[in-house]
Amino acid sequence: MKQLKSLLIAVALFIGVSQTVSAQAKVAHINVSELMTAMPEMKAANTQLEQISKTYDTQYKTMVQEFQAKIQKYGDEEATAGNAVNEARAKEVQDMQQRIQEYQQTATKELQDKQEAIYKPILEKSKNAIQKVARAKGYQYVLDSSTGSGVILADGPDLMADVKKELGF
């Protein structure tokens, strides 16, 4: 009877250990930031965003120069202009300053929106390639090993070369 109990316990342990071994998930990692930076589409997207940014910047600088020129002109004419004219000019300068600030905020938001719209298809393409490679290699989990992503140690398989190959570069 004692031997039967020992045999049953040994069989139960063997089954438990084999279940634990087969339940372990395969995990790999990839630096998504590095992948996206290396993608040819990203270089074109960055060029496009730089052009848009330069356009906004040029318009902003023009507005600031006009603002500074008016302040200089109104400052030079302040002594000879009447109080009513000076008050009207002060109001005009305040309005102009407010328009410049609003333009800067609007331009920043529009640039962020355009950046998101331009980067979204690139991110989707990289994500799809990562998923395809991971499934083909039998990985159940792929961690992003980019700096600040929360992965502390990434000693496992790196999918970077395989994903780049899948993407064709």
List pLDDT tens digits, range 138-166: 999 999 988 877 776 677 888 899 999 98
pLDDT of residue 11: 52
**CA–CA gap between residue 98 and residue 63 (Å, rounded):** 11
**Residue 89, in any domain of the structure:** yes
Look up the CATH number of the domain holding residue 64: 3.30.910
Q: How confident is the model over 14-39, as pLDDT tens digits?
A: 565 444 444 578 899 999 999 999 99
**What is the count of structural domains for the chain?**
1
**Residue 154, in any domain of the structure:** yes
Q: Mean pLDDT throughout 74-97?
A: 91
Dihedral sign (CA 58, 47, 108, 149):
negative
Count Cβ atoms below 10 Å from residue 118 Cβ, excluding itself: 17
Q: Is the pTM of this model over 0.75?
A: no
pLDDT of residue 154: 72
**Residue 91, in any domain of the structure:** yes
Give residue 5's pLDDT band: very low, low, confident or very high (50, 70, 90): low
Count Cβ atoms below 10 Å from residue 80 Cβ, excluding itself: 7
pLDDT of residue 16: 55
pLDDT of residue 120: 96
**Residue 152, in any domain of the structure:** yes
What does the block give as tokens for 67?
A: 């603002």
Give me Rg for the CA atoms of the chain: 31
pLDDT of residue 12: 55
Q: How confident is the model over 36-70, as pLDDT tens digits?
A: 999 999 999 999 999 999 999 999 999 999 999 99
**Residue 29, in any domain of the structure:** yes
**Residue 85, in any domain of the structure:** yes
**Residue 140, in any domain of the structure:** yes
pLDDT of residue 157: 87
Give me the percent of the chain exceeding a pLDDT of 90.
63
pLDDT of residue 122: 95
Match 């990839």 to its residue by tokens: 30
Range of the domain at 146: 24-167
Q: Is the pLDDT of residue 131 over 60?
A: yes
CA dihedral defined by 44, 104, 112, 47, rounded to 10 degrees? 10
**Residue 67, in any domain of the structure:** yes
What does the block give as tokens for 40?
A: 């040819």
**CA–CA gap between residue 70 and residue 99 (Å, rounded):** 14
